[in-house]
Amino acid sequence: MTKEMKYRAYTLHNYKELPQIKYLSPQDIEAIEVVGRVLPFKANNYVVEQLIDWNNIPNDPIFTLTFPRKEMLSEEHYNQVLNMLDSDPNDPAYKETIDTIRRTLNPNPAGQEHNIPTLEGESLDGMQHKYRETVLFFPSQGQTCHAYCTFCFRWPQFSGMSDLKFAMKEADLLHEYLRQHKEVTDVLFTGGDPLTTTSRILSTYIEPLLTKEFDHIRNIRIGSKALSYWPYRFLTDNDADNLIELFTKVRQAGKNLAFQAHFNHPTELSTDVVKEAIERIKSTGAQIRTQSPLLDKINNSPEIWAEMWQKQVDLGCIPYYMFIARDTGSKAFFEVPLVDAWKLFSKAYSSVSGICRTVRGPSMSAYPGKVAVRGVREIKGEKMFILNFLQCRNPDLVGIPFFAKFDAEATWLDQLKPAFGEEKFFYEKDNLLGEGTDNKEIWGLA
């Protein structure tokens, strides 16, 4: 049995107390001081003791995943902050500089504000309903994580930019919305990390969904990185048994508890604690699916992905999505061109058995939907990307192949142009995505 560990966070305020501080060079420390003021920074004792290889700093993948590094900001932004390091954090000029830099980093990508549903004319800020079957719910108490990923696109939620914060306290609103939307089969609890909240709060949201009036809700889904960043959540934390009991209740009510685990690197699957936690979650009858973005400097090789999928399957998890990193925050540091993402995916996918090939991608969560890069082909002398929707605002468009001019540098959908000299992609025509969506500006496709 795992020995208990008491959670301890390391942030900008106390990272100098790290027992491993001696491994950081003055340059590494300067980078933490500078970049940590713009992008969120939080690690914890499990991550620093059991996941990071301190003899491989700064290139260690888990260090890069959780600690600020110089190249995560542009040189110009870096120097701007460096010159203000001694400012009083409450100084308006300092605050304005930080805010301005953050705003240039596209803090709210893919028009997420367009997914907020309404109930009797009021907008429900703690929810997103983009794809017919699935409602995302952001418990307001779960807008944090056990550690922060340096690539995170949810970062405005952690950085005190409160006007962008999706938060909803009232479980009543969620339930009322679901009562009125019988087409919804899945509720996906997300954040931040919803498992930073107590089991009691989670029960307030989840238990009512197990009653007869919510027969249409088939899948209770939880998106979480706690298995990577704090597996003690499922084993020895005060609240661990209650959480396991809640998962069991969902199963006993005849519903699927689908756990969506974020794993970015095979190291996160290697400790005894994580293996035990996975076993315990699965013992409730819950399923664990896995997902990650493809990230340069962290997991940019087919061997890493193949190893990750194989390890996941060894542990009884189901590989689910490979994402393209979103256009936000430190994107320039982590980005991989679409063509390379496709090559990497194909190589990794073809090197594992069919059991691992439940994974889909590489996929971009863009305004119109989740768009997968299926391949590159030359057709009648024109080189192009073949794409399709894995998810779409208009479910009728899912699975239909479409074509974009080949572009070796493109890293996101908005950089692609239709192939065959067309002016628009098929989904941009005839108002196929519904009211108002013909507007290229809203789409970021102009």
Ligand X SMILES: *Cc1c(COP(=O)(O)O)cnc(C)c1O
Could you tell me which stretch among 11-19, 24-32, 83-91, 190-198 binds ligand SF4 (CB under 6 A)? Answer: 190-198
Single-letter amino acid, residue 34: V
Among 193, 268, 307, 428, binds ligand SF4 (CB under 6 A): 193
Contact 214, 159 (CB under 8 A): no
225-257 burial, b for 16+ CB within 10 Å, e for fewer? bbbbbbbbbbbbbebbeebbebbebbeebebbb
152 binds, among ligand X, ligand SF4, none (CB under 5 to 8 A by kind): ligand SF4
CB closer to ligand X out of 136 and 235: 136
CB closer to ligand SF4 out of 51 and 433: 51
Binding residue count for ligand X, defined by CB under 6 A: 10
Q: How far apart are CA 61 and CA 271, in angstroms?
A: 16
Residue appearing with tokens 């260090």: 63
For residue 144, give both structure tokens. 């944090």
CA-closest candidate to residue 143, choices 195, 203, 214: 195
CA-closest candidate to residue 18, choices 47, 39, 61: 47
128 binds ligand X (CB under 6 A): yes
10 binds ligand SF4 (CB under 6 A): no
Single-letter amino acid, residue 265: H
Minimum distance between the CB of residue 306 and ligand SF4, rounded to whole angstroms?
Answer: 23
365 binds ligand X (CB under 6 A): yes
Contact 260, 223 (CB under 8 A): yes
Could you tell me which stretch among 100-108, 126-134, 156-164, 263-271 binds ligand X (CB under 6 A)? Answer: 126-134
Binding residue count for ligand SF4, defined by CB under 6 A: 10
Minimum distance between the CB of residue 66 and ligand SF4, rounded to whole angstroms?
Answer: 9
Among 145, 188, 195, 359, binds ligand SF4 (CB under 6 A): 145
Instruction: Compute how many other C-beta atoms are within 10 angstroms of the C-beta atom of residue 338.
Output: 27
154 binds ligand SF4 (CB under 6 A): yes
Among 66, 391, 411, 437, binds ligand X (CB under 6 A): 391
Single-letter amino acid, residue 322: M
Among 15, 46, 131, 309, binds ligand X (CB under 6 A): 131
Minimum distance between the CB of residue 7 and ligand SF4, rounded to whole angstroms?
Answer: 15
CA-closest candidate to residue 428, choices 412, 409, 444, 405: 444
> Of all residues in this chain, which one has the CB nearest to ligand X in the complex?
130
CB closer to ligand SF4 out of 72 and 416: 72
130 binds ligand X (CB under 6 A): yes
For residue 376, give both structure tokens. 């590159």
φ and ψ at residue 168, rounded to 5 degrees? -145, 125
Measure Cα distances from 291 to 44, 45, 52, 140, 301 in Å: 22, 24, 21, 23, 16
All residues at 6 or more sequence positions from 121 whose CB lies less than 8 Å from its CB, including other chains: none
CA-closest candidate to residue 165, choices 189, 139, 201, 147: 139
330 binds ligand X (CB under 6 A): no
Could you tell me which stretch among 113-121, 191-199, 365-373, 415-423 binds ligand SF4 (CB under 6 A)? Answer: 191-199
Among 117, 139, 191, 368, binds ligand SF4 (CB under 6 A): 191
Q: How far apart are CA 343 and CA 88, in angstroms?
A: 48
193 binds, among ligand SF4, ligand X, none (CB under 5 to 8 A by kind): ligand SF4
Q: How far apart are CA 98 and CA 89, in angstroms?
A: 10
Q: Which residues 234-263 are close enough to bind ligand SF4 by CB under 6 A? A: 262
CB closer to ligand SF4 out of 66 and 312: 66
152 binds ligand SF4 (CB under 6 A): yes
Strands 122-123 and 118-119 turn out to be: antiparallel
261 binds ligand X (CB under 6 A): no
328 binds ligand X (CB under 6 A): no
Point out which residues bind ligand SF4 (CB under 6 A): 145, 148-149, 152, 154, 191-193, 225, 262
Point out which residues bind ligand X (CB under 6 A): 115, 128, 130-131, 134, 136, 188, 365, 370, 391
